Structure 1
Amino acid sequence: MIDFSTAWASVADVDGWMTDGQARALYDASASAPEGGTIVEIGSFQGRSTIILASAAPDGATVTAIDPHAGNDRGPQEIEGYADDAESDHARFNANLQRAGVADRVRHLRMFSDEALGEVAEIDVLYIDGAHRYGPALADIRQWGAKVRPGGTMLIHDSFSSIGVTGAIGRELLWSQRWRYVGRSRSLAIYRADTGVSSWKNAGRQLAQVPWFAKNVILKVLISAKILRGREWPY
């Protein structure tokens, strides 16, 4: 295991969307997996979050990073049309993992998340940061979330920020009696696979994030319309 400060420093020059607080949440979740456990990431881009997860992974744990590096869903406002960047993203992903010293801890599946479902059985820690549109986000939460063991953790990036991801959360998790909402670090929501979850209390804690979600949507509209210039895309 690599300590958090070292891991965070190692991703300073790696492109991606992850705050230090979000990195800490990912690191702690990965570190909580049992020895020999299974950690899965959906959406790796150039390896920023992958490095954090792999740095914290216990001995013998498997870190599976799923990303097709196909030039689509690369980040905010980069949904498709970036095929020319696909190979460079893939090369940078591998180079970044090598430079951080975690390449031997990561199993990369270069495929779309729905194509990789048969490659992984049960999961201890699941991090979802794939396509942010409603349909793909819902499929990832539903299909991959079903693989998480009782007591396991699911983290979802762009929660209460992306309209598609938030809609998927509302559909699948808002009234869930299996997934307990633990909290969030900005747009990184943390859920735990639990039993006896109070659906009303759980829903209330998630609905309390709606004002923050509304603020993010307004900011994105203003940034996209170039009314707010020089403002960072909220994540």
Structure 2
Amino acid sequence: MYNGELIEKTKGFMDPEEGERLFQLALDASSRGACLEIGSYCGKSALYMGPACRARNGILYSIDHHRGNEEQQPGEFYHDPDLVDPRTGKMDTLFFFRTALSDAGLEDTVVPLVGGSAHIARFWTTPLSLVFIDGGHTFAAAYTDYVSWFSHVQPGGFLVVHDIFEKPEDGGQAPWYVYETAKKSGLFEELPRTKTLGVLRRYHPGELPRDLPS
């Protein structure tokens, strides 16, 4: 089980109900293969998924350049000055992420991959049982994460997208666009959502719908 007290004091934006759903999905998926998240930040989502992977003797890869997304830069709404490296003046969340993994005893389960999502995906060959997209929220960033990684989700695996809002007045539209694009691909079955957490399961070849989108 995950450490709720540690999660609560870890910086991040994961709703507890959404985190619980991530835990359950990772518990299911990690028995079939590796899991991967895009957007580590300070480790809150990894503190949900990591213990699930550990319970199944699995692994969670966690991708982030650790310089903060567009909304976390100085002057932006989600900027946290505590996360600025005083030596460089740049955001740097890697230390906080590694500290969270150490405190949770997850350093043998969660593997940090430091760099851009698309760059890491270029030569990736390992099938994945779960891909969680929660990185940059511009259209370019979110769509790049999707096109870079959706094909690596193995049949029966999950594609999970965070912060999906159907109405612009409720939140940014990039994750919603990615979610809808994945649905329209005909490769994924939509499962029940948990708040802003959209969950899709990749069809097995024999399950593919007859009428695929053109």
Same fold (TM over 0.5): yes
Query: 2:67 and 2:125 mapped to 1: Cα distance?
Result: 21
Query: 2:188 and 2:16 mapped to 1: Cα distance?
Result: 25
Query: 1:186 and 1:134 mapped to 2: Cα distance?
Result: 21
Compute the RMSD of aligned alpha carbons: 2.5
Structure 2 counterparts to residues 19-38 of structure 1, below 5 A: 19-35=15-31, 37-38=33-34
Give the strand-richer structure, 1 or 2. Answer: 2
Per the alignment, residue 65 of structure 2 pairs with 68
Match of 2:157 among 149, 152, 159: 152
Q: Residue 135 of structure 1 contacts residue 168 of structure 1 at CA under 8 Å; is this kept in 2?
A: no
Query: Is the partner of 2:118 in helix, strand or coil?
Result: coil
Query: 1:36 and 1:169 mapped to 2: Cα distance?
Result: 23
Match of 1:183 among 167, 171, 192: 192
Q: CA deviation at 1:120?
A: 5.0
Match of 2:113 among 105, 109, 113: 109
Q: Residue 39 of structure 1 contacts residue 123 of structure 1 at CA under 8 Å; is this kept in 2?
A: yes
Query: 1:157 and 1:198 mapped to 2: Cα distance?
Result: 29
Query: 1:127 and 1:185 mapped to 2: Cα distance?
Result: 14
Q: Percent identity?
A: 22
For structure 1, the 5+ residue unaligned runs are 201-235
Query: 2:164 and 2:40 mapped to 1: Cα distance?
Result: 17
Per the alignment, residue 91 of structure 1 pairs with 95
For structure 2, the 5+ residue unaligned runs are 166-170
Match of 2:133 among 120, 128, 131: 128
Q: Relative to 1, partners in 2 of residues 1:15 and 1:123: Cα closer, same or farther, differing over 3 Å?
A: same
Query: 1:8 and 1:142 mapped to 2: Cα distance?
Result: 33
Q: Relative to 1, partners in 2 of residues 1:65 and 1:94: Cα closer, same or farther, differing over 3 Å?
A: same
Per the alignment, residue 12 of structure 1 pairs with 8
Higher RCO (C-alpha 8 Å, min separation 6)? 2
Q: Which amino acid aligns with 1:63?
A: L
Query: 1:19 and 1:181 mapped to 2: Cα distance?
Result: 21
Q: Residue 12 of structure 2 contacts residue 41 of structure 2 at CA under 8 Å; is this kept in 1?
A: yes
Per the alignment, residue 233 of structure 1 pairs with none
Q: Relative to 1, partners in 2 of residues 1:150 and 1:65: Cα closer, same or farther, differing over 3 Å?
A: same
Aligned length: 194
Q: TM-score, normalised by structure 2?
A: 0.81
Match of 1:168 among 167, 172, 178: 178
CA offsets 1:126-146 (integer angstroms, 9 cap, x no match): 111011111221121222011
Q: CA deviation at 1:85?
A: 4.8
Query: Is the partner of 2:21 in helix, strand or coil?
Result: helix
Q: Relative to 1, partners in 2 of residues 1:115 and 1:36: Cα closer, same or farther, differing over 3 Å?
A: same
Q: TM-score, normalised by structure 1?
A: 0.74
Q: Which amino acid aligns with 2:131?
A: L
Query: 1:38 and 1:29 mapped to 2: Cα distance?
Result: 12
Per the alignment, residue 204 of structure 1 pairs with none
Q: Relative to 1, partners in 2 of residues 1:35 and 1:174: Cα closer, same or farther, differing over 3 Å?
A: closer
Query: 1:34 and 1:49 mapped to 2: Cα distance?
Result: 15
Q: Which amino acid aligns with 2:94?
A: H
Q: CA deviation at 1:198?
A: 7.5
Query: Is the partner of 1:46 in helix, strand or coil?
Result: coil
